[in-house]
Amino acid sequence: MTSPDRYAWLTGLLPVTGCVTVVGGVAPPELARLFGADPDQPVAEEDLDLDVAAFNAVTGGAIAVEPNGYEGTRSEVLLPASLVATGERVASVYWNENVGVSFTCAEAGREVASVELPPYDEDDLADLPEDLRALARPHLDSDEVDPVALGAAMVEAYTGLGFGEHDLDLAVLVQINPLPDVVGADTTGTTRLAREYPRLVEEIERWSPVRQRALVAWVLRRSLATAGVLEDPDFSAVLDCIGVLAPDPLPERSRSRFAAIDRAVSAESSKDRPHDWSGSEGTSDPEWEDIVARLQAMEPEEGLADLGDDVLGSDDDTFSEGRFRAGNLLQWAAGVARAALHPDPATSAWRSLHAAMMTMQAAGRVHGGPHHASFTADLLEQFLPDSPAAILTPKPDPVDAAADLPTHLQRELVEWAARFYAEVAGVAEDADFAAVLSQFGSGRRPHLPPGTVARFSRIHEELRTAYEQADHRGRSTAAFDDVALLAEVAEVVERACEGDMARSAAFVVGSAEMTLSQIEIATGQDRTEEFWGGLQRFGIVR
């Protein structure tokens, strides 16, 4: 069996990020074409910020090495490659110090598995062939193994093709032109716009395709104008691609530009942050005043395209809130452009509108102004004149809805949730938990008996110690999951005994996904629908 130690050198060659894909029975030029690359067009040194890869020969096949990309993880590449590969098997390992490590494999035109490394527990190995499970099983939830080396060993075990450091020669790089995503249509229940505007989604579904496409064209033009890129050829080219029913594909120059914006924003977000920017309003950024001044001084024909390319081109290693926000605006405008060319008219309309809403919010963060309110008002006037204004009122956020409930309903909600969690965790009859649960329903504020306080303190301390010392590495995963679940339940019970019910109700709803996830990890039960169904009695909708 291949040992991960065989590939211990890999992160020394590409320490921050990389992707290695191995395909048997093909030559490097053929593999390059499967990636959407022209093997006869090497990249000049000044163009190394593009999506690039080296395609080299290995014994029995070819290897693709991406120093800063992940095309080798995409089904658009792996599935066609598996149809021409020896044994119809292909695999890749991808790593990024900010994202993690993953192994992906495909066979005969279908994806077999995609797993994070090192695997957390046996369930993570379920889709892998037995030989790969045997290779990965000794490293479950382990910090002793190099996950990149483990992934490379799994690539060799799956494809039967090993590789060495000399096979990852990056002397000749060619540009990758990312293949279009496999296109699927949204439904009224799955499109992201439905999370906030379900009535709007249903209304648009009833429109004719011609009307849906007209909406898309208006939304795209408005979004590009707001982002200051209406005259930018890479963005405006998309306007020429919108047909009445069948739009043209996204132009290659636009695709490359949009990908460059994505990379720049991603690179900015991964930079060192000397301060906590999570609550920043922008003005605390040392560069913020300069960016705003430059925006105000722009001539009418200028726009954020000029600012974005300049600002995002910074070599500064420190995170800038201003650069990030300017880039994020361009990123959302590109999202509208991509969505506008979806072949399904309804899906195109829904996705374009969602990205446009985000574009308006991003514009407000960059240079202020009621962009979102103005956009929705014009949308209502031009396309929804017979609809009530409420159709463009976002569905209430469940956390905000919980915080706005009358106090007596907030108490009922928190007590119901605490009892629900305790029963699922099997501690409703436990003396320390039951001592509090028995006080529920009286309408009065419960209290924590001294014995319960001591018990909960021990639970929280045990979990804290496990995290700080990582001593759960030496204990069973199930034991760690159990104490993590107990801590979640204890936290909600404690919240039921607090005086600020608005704060407690908001916490319970806001932390529900995490608690329900911990329940599934510890017990194997998915109680998500049951929990959110119970909250509907309080008018809380997921």
For 60-69, what is each residue's pLDDT tens digit?
999 999 998 8
Question: Same domain for 208 and 170?
Answer: no
Question: Same domain for 32 and 74?
Answer: yes
Picking from 300, 276, 280, the residue whose alpha carbon sits closest to that of residue 288 is: 280
Q: Report yes or no on 321 lying in a domain.
A: yes
Are 94 and 18 within 8 A, CB to CB? yes
Question: Same domain for 406 and 521?
Answer: yes
Q: Report yes or no on 193 lying in a domain.
A: no
Q: Looking at residue 139, what is its pLDDT?
A: 86
Q: Report yes or no on 387 lying in a domain.
A: no
Q: Give 380-413 pLDDT, tens digit per residue.
A: 999 999 888 888 888 777 888 898 899 999 999 9
The tally of domains found in the chain comes to: 3
Question: Same domain for 43 and 149?
Answer: yes
Q: Looking at residue 45, what is its pLDDT?
A: 54
Question: Same domain for 208 and 273?
Answer: yes
Q: Looking at residue 300, what is its pLDDT?
A: 38
Question: Same domain for 103 and 217?
Answer: no
Question: Same domain for 35 and 70?
Answer: yes
Helix, strand and coil percent figures for the chain, each rounded to 5:
55, 10, 35
Structural Rg of the chain based on CA atoms: 27
Instruction: Name the 3-class secondary structure at 421.
Output: helix
Q: Looking at residue 438, what is its pLDDT?
A: 94
Q: Report yes or no on 12 lying in a domain.
A: yes
Residue with tokens 């590109």: 334
Phi then psi dihedrals of residue 253, to 5 deg? -65, -35
Q: Looking at residue 28, what is its pLDDT?
A: 94
Tell me which residues of the chain have a pLDDT lower than 70.
1, 44-50, 180-183, 244-246, 270-317, 466-478
Q: Kindly report whether the global pTM for this prediction surpasses the value 0.75.
A: no
Are 309 and 342 within 8 A, CB to CB? no
End-to-end CA distance of the chain: 48
Domain range for residue 522?
400-538
Q: Looking at residue 520, what is its pLDDT?
A: 86
Classify burial at 514, counting beta carbons within 10 Å of its beta carbon; exposed 0-12, middle 13-18, buried 19 or more.
exposed
